[in-house]
Every structure is written in C-alpha cells, then in structure tokens.
Amino acid sequence: MIAGTLQWRKVTHHRASRDTKQNKDSNTSSAGGSHWSLLVVSVVDAVAFHYDSLLPANRDEAITTTRKLSKLLNQNLHFLDLPDSPQQENGSDCGVFVCVQMKHLLVRKLLVAHNKEKINMSMGGKHLDASQGRKEMLRIIEAFRREGEKRRSYVEGPSHLLPMTRTDSAKKIIKSEYKQ
C-alpha cells in the first residue's frame, strides 16, 4: 500500500508502510497477529529501503511490495534490507517504531539534504524509545484536537457569534430543509 507521495525539490519519494501477517517463522509474536515495517522508496535513486524492527519478520512482504511498486512505476527498484534498523523489545511496538523512524528520516535526513547531496539512510546507532514515541504521538494528536476546536464552525446570531458543534450544525441544516 502506498501511504503517500511527497514531491520535494523535484525529487519524488513514495513512502509505504505495510500491515501484514507476521511470518510464521518468526519466534516473536506481535499483538493482533500483524507486524508493521517501513519501506521508503527513492524513485530518483531506484532504491527501496526496508526498516524492520523485528528482523526478518516482514522481509518477504517488503520484497513483494518492492516488486509490485517496480511494476507500477515501470522502473526496476533495488531492494535494500537495512539490518541496522533499531529493534523493538516486545511484540507491540512496531507501529510506534514505524512512526518514529518516518519522522526521523524525514525531519533529520530528507528535508535537510541539499539537492545533489547523497543521503545516508541508515538508522544504525539510533536508539528508539517507544514510550517517548507514544508520548510524542499523543502531543501531536492533542495539538491537532486543540486546533480543531479553535476552528469550530460559527454562525451569526442576532447580536453575536454562536459557537456550533457539528451536532448543532447538522440539526440546524435538517431543520432548515424541513422549513422549505
């Protein structure tokens, strides 16, 4: 599944994360029976970088996804499994690891690189703290929630603006339709 497309400085990067059944060969089971890993594809460099926090749990799925993307893009992509990816200590942190790795790669590597500069995509030596990652994700969600509350719909009343919740908005629309 292609999670999104980012066009930046005439360079296109496709990011894909894949939620798949964990390989039966793996001796670590994950909560819910699925495991997330990160596949970062550089179309310009024709490389698919695979970050798996439970090596080699999603290796086969990442290779299959890379082949499918190669066919979709009509371009031969070189698959690169990164064995120095930070490893999780349990079977339930993979989603947090994917989010933290995406943020690190984007903010610390891809967005700060100059046009012609080669980027080291290794996560070697990078320690990921799942607990801190969860806290950061909650802070981001809370910030979006607060921003959403600030942007609530307002309707002009007889003498002032009245804040309307979505439920109030829906009720008002329904009432106005019945009056017509």
Q: Check residues 16 and 83 and name the one with the higher pLDDT.
A: 83
The pLDDT tens digits for 105-123 are 988 888 888 878 888 899 9
Q: How confident is the model at residue 180 (pLDDT cuts 50, 70, 90)?
A: very low
Q: Check residues 151 and 80 and name the one with the higher pLDDT.
A: 80
How far apart are the C-alpha atoms of 118 and 31, rounded to whole Å?
37
Q: Residue 13: its pLDDT value, please? A: 35
Task: For the beta carbon of residue 26, count every other beta carbon within 10 angstroms.
Answer: 15
Provide the mean pLDDT of the chain: 75
71, HSE (Cβ side, Cα atoms, 13 Å): 6
Question: How many whole angstroms from its chain centre is CA 102?
Answer: 6
How far apart are the C-alpha atoms of 6 and 52, rounded to whole Å?
22
Overall average pLDDT of the 69-81 stretch: 96
pTM assigned to the model: 0.65
How many residues can be counted in the chain?
Answer: 180
Q: Is the peptide bond before 56 cis (omega within 30 degrees of 0)?
A: yes
Q: Residue 41: its pLDDT value, please? A: 95
Q: Check residues 39 and 118 and name the one with the higher pLDDT.
A: 39
- Residue 99, classed as helix, strand or coil, is helix
Q: Residue 63: its pLDDT value, please? A: 96
